[in-house]
Structure 1
Amino acid sequence: MRTTRMIIAGLAVCGAVTAMAQERTRLPAECRQEIVRLCGTDRSEMRSCMIEKRENLSAPCRQSLRDRVQASRGDAQGEARQSLRRGAQEIAYGSDPLQKLDFHPVSTDRPSPLVLFVHGGGWKRGDKRNATGGFKAPHYNGQGYHFASINYRLVPEATVEQQAADVAAALAKLLAEADRLKIDRRRVVLMGHSAGAHLVALVGTDPQYLRGAGLSYRDVKGVIPLDGAAYDVPAQMDENARLMGDTYKQAFGTDPARQKALSPTHHAAAPNAPAFLILHVQRRDGTAQSKGLGEALRKGDTDATVQGFEGRGLQGHAEINRRLGDPDYPATPVVDAWLKKAFDE
């Protein structure tokens, strides 16, 4: 029973699967045994192992997993419909079907700050609605800020360079409509989780992406990366190769020069976005990468705060995204205070 609970917890998709959905799609015992043989029972590594090695499972077990994911997507789609009913506007910022964003406006008669969120998903998956966490939009609206969550083109059809360009293009679209949307274009913060943390950090340190969208660092007050682990890509290629090596190779290739060019830490000498709040949980690679980025930014005279929170492995990695905005989650008041300072300056 203990092993079964660990498997179920490890396979939960970032909290999107409710208890009812779990019961409807309980994995067969034979499939659970296959997973244990393939990935062991360490819940902190289970999800990454399954992402990388699920093709080694039998066809019936893979089908059971697909049924489970479909159930979770159904719940996420329900949340997405609720989100739109709460007043979110979907806005296209390019011609590709994935170049869209959801804009959650705060009720205001005057221009208000904007928090722009970029989802994670290993650069190859994720969605602006089901990978955002349910607390962020209502919480930041409650703080008096507009909130937007973007989709972007995904690997392998797109490159990481194009993804960073999409982040900049989404921001440019919102700022081009700032008058209509009542956005204060002088007060914008970029936030992202996991792969999204890497992308916002890259846009915040390599000016070519904003410049390509007709913007500059004058258009960004700060950047909040949430538990990223790819700020120094060449170092991460070696650090986490066993579990996530295929994902990193797919995203960043094998050319060290390209890996370095896509590393925010290697761009941390000025110019940068004015300020960074770099948050992490207790993952060895995420902690080291976060501290490394913060140190490099400070050497470049950029204001950078690095702060860690409780949470182990991939469960903690998911929690910081899922619960940010929950008043009872310790990172929420830290981000609130930082945003207030950034927007008031």
Structure 2
Amino acid sequence: MTQALDLSYIPGTNDSLRSFDLHVPSLHTARESPMIIFVHGGAWRSEDKSQYQALARNLAEASNAPVLVPNYRLTPSVPTLETQFLHPGHAEDILHFLDFITSGAWPGVPELKFTPTGRGLYLLGHSAGAHILSSIFLDSSAAFPSLTPPPAVLKAARGIVMTEGIYDIDLLLAKFPNYRQWFIAAVFGDRASYADASTTGLALREGSPEDLRWLVIHSKGDTLVDQPQSDAIVAHLRTLYGGGAAADARVTRNVDQFDMEHNDVLSAPLYIDVIRAFVAEGKE
């Protein structure tokens, strides 16, 4: 296993919150390889890429693909007018990262340059990370034009896996009203509705790959985010792809295999197996 840690994705900066870690499996040789990117959760306010080094190593060895884990700037626990950091800033950082990766320009690590062409990118988002990815890869440009991905980013995407995700914020608050003061108001502003920031009403991006596949995972044991979140995004994605067999080929739902708490899903060997199989299916 080869690792390169704390690589900046904003040229000319040395900001740990805008850096990423790269994990390359020991048997990896192909430059034209798929790459796996894991975007962490933490309610847009916590967690760090360093917490996911074991997960990244296990994913890399199981899939024989490089795994990249980016950080992004976080909303302070007690924001002030001077320190507040609102949506879409977190997703903008991840989009900067994806733009950097697909540019092929990786200064400082020439021996670890991988061009995400051919096999492309497999993007994994957990919790808030799932909202970030769906905000980028579905068309949120009407409300948040800064989240419009460059063509190279869209072209590179082959698969998106969203686990224990938040998608419909108003629906989430109907179930968990205390989340408004816990993190939603700090991240999205304190307002009556968050329909514009929810991803369950967004269209497909123009230019999205015709073979892009989605996998939505939800654990029966999750007490922090309820299954209606995942049900809502699956129903929406299936509608976008026309339903029936066409949607079956593009959208997969996994809500029966996992039975553990919100964060524990990522520690389960089953999670590694499911991701490995999803990536392998894309190689066929």
TM norm. shorter chain > 0.5: yes
Which of 17, 36, 42 is residue 98 of structure 1 equivalent to?
A: 17
Please say if residues 168 and 213 of structure 1, whose CA atoms lie closer than 8 Å, have aligned partners that are also in contact.
no
Give the number of aligned pairs.
Answer: 249
Corresponding letter in the other structure for 1:317:
H
Corresponding letter in the other structure for 2:237:
L
Quote the Cα distance in structure 1 between the aligned partners of 2:64 and 2:122. Answer: 14
Identity over aligned pairs, percent: 22
RMSD, matched Cα: 2.6
Quote the Cα distance in structure 2 between the aligned partners of 1:97 and 1:201. Answer: 24
Does residue 255 of the first structure (1) align with residue 191 of the second (2)?
A: yes
Quote the Cα distance in structure 2 between the aligned partners of 1:123 and 1:224. Answer: 18
Please say if residues 137 and 205 of structure 2, whose CA atoms lie closer than 8 Å, have aligned partners that are also in contact.
no
Unaligned runs of 5+ in 1: 1-84
Compute the displacement of 1:133 (Å).
6.1
Which of 268, 275, 278 is residue 335 of structure 1 equivalent to?
A: 275
Compute the displacement of 1:300 (Å).
0.5
Quote the Cα distance in structure 2 between the aligned partners of 1:139 and 1:148. Answer: 10
Quote the Cα distance in structure 1 between the aligned partners of 2:182 and 2:42. Answer: 14
Compute the displacement of 1:173 (Å).
1.2
* Structure 1 pair 335–139 and aligned structure 2 pair: CA distance change class (3 A): closer
Which of 127, 135, 151 is residue 202 of structure 1 equivalent to?
A: 135
Corresponding letter in the other structure for 1:199:
I
Higher radius of gyration, 1 or 2: 1
State the partner residue of 2:79: none
Quote the Cα distance in structure 1 between the aligned partners of 2:192 and 2:57. Answer: 38
TM-score w.r.t. structure 1 length? 0.65
State the partner residue of 2:201: 266
State the partner residue of 1:81: none
State the partner residue of 1:317: 262
Q: Which has the higher helix share?
A: 1
State the partner residue of 1:307: 254
Taking the TM superposition and a 5 Å limit, the aligned residue runs for 1:1-345 are 86-94=2-10, 95=13, 96-106=15-25, 107-130=28-51, 132=52, 134-156=54-76, 157-177=84-104, 180=110, 181-186=113-118, 187-206=120-139, 208=141, 211-212=148-149, 215-228=152-165, 230-242=166-178, 245-255=181-191, 259-269=194-204, 271=206, 274-282=212-220, 283=222, 285-301=225-241, 303-308=250-255, 309-312=257-260, 316-323=261-268, 326=269, 329=270, 331-344=271-284
Please say if residues 172 and 214 of structure 1, whose CA atoms lie closer than 8 Å, have aligned partners that are also in contact.
no
Please say if residues 122 and 194 of structure 1, whose CA atoms lie closer than 8 Å, have aligned partners that are also in contact.
yes
* Structure 1 pair 90–298 and aligned structure 2 pair: CA distance change class (3 A): same
* Structure 1 pair 159–100 and aligned structure 2 pair: CA distance change class (3 A): same
TM-score w.r.t. structure 2 length? 0.77
